[in-house]
Structure 1
Amino acid sequence: MSKTKEHSETVAPNGVPPQGRGAGPVAPPRVSARRRRPGVIALSLALIAAGGAGVAVLVLQVGHRTQVVTVVRDVQVGQVLTEQDFGEASVALDPAVKAVRADALEAVVGKRAAVELKPGSLLAPSQVTKDSLVKPGEQLVPVGLKPEQVPATALVPGQRVQLVRVPAQGEEPKEDAAQKSIAGRAVKASKAAPGTGIVVVDVATSAADGPTAAAWVATGTFRLILDAPQDGS
Structure 2
Amino acid sequence: MEQRTFPTPSPGTTVPAAEPARVAPHVPPRTLRARRRRPAVIAMAVAMVAAGGLGGAVLYNSTGQRIAVLALARDVPAGQAIAAEDLVVARIASDPALRPLDATDRSRTIGLRASRDLKRGGLLLKADVTGDSLVEAGQTVAGVAVKRTQLPATRLTPGTRVLVVSTPDNGPNGTVRTPETLTVKVVAVGKVDTDGSQVVDVALPLADGPKLAAWVAGGKIQIILAPRTDGAAATAPTPAPSGSAG
Alignment of 1:1-233 (within 5 A): 4=10, 6-10=12-16, 63=63, 64-69=65-70, 89-92=89-92, 99-105=100-106, 107-108=108-109, 112-114=112-114, 123-126=124-127, 128-168=129-169, 172-175=174-177, 180-194=180-194, 196-232=195-231
Q: 1:60 to 1:169 in 2, by over 3 A?
A: farther
> In structure 1, how many angstroms separate the alpha carbons of the residues matched to 2:94 and 2:166?
49
Q: Which amino acid aligns with 1:150?
A: L
Q: 1:148 to 1:86 in 2, by over 3 A?
A: closer
> In structure 1, how many angstroms separate the alpha carbons of the residues matched to 2:151 and 2:94?
37
3-state SS, counterpart of residue 223 of structure 1: strand
In the alignment, what sits opposite 1:36?
none
Q: 1:99 to 1:208 in 2, by over 3 A?
A: same
> In structure 1, how many angstroms separate the alpha carbons of the residues matched to 2:191 and 2:93?
32
Q: Which amino acid aligns with 1:201?
A: V
1:94 shift after superposition: 9.5
> In structure 2, how many angstroms separate the alpha carbons of the residues matched to 1:166 and 1:153?
21
Q: What value does the CA root-mean-square deviation take over the aligned residues?
A: 4.7
What runs of 5+ residues in structure 2 fail to find an aligned partner?
1-7, 21-54, 233-246
What runs of 5+ residues in structure 1 fail to find an aligned partner?
13-17, 22-54
Q: 1:231 to 1:103 in 2, by over 3 A?
A: farther
> In structure 2, how many angstroms separate the alpha carbons of the residues matched to 1:69 and 1:227?
34
Give the TM-score taking structure 1 as reference length: 0.57
Q: 1:121 to 1:227 in 2, by over 3 A?
A: same
1:189-217 CA distance string (max 9 Å, x none): 112112x1112111111222222111101
Q: Which amino acid aligns with 1:204?
A: A
3-state SS, counterpart of residue 92 of structure 1: strand
3-state SS, counterpart of residue 144 of structure 2: strand
1:158 shift after superposition: 1.3
1:124 shift after superposition: 4.5
3-state SS, counterpart of residue 69 of structure 1: strand
Q: 1:104 to 1:153 in 2, by over 3 A?
A: same
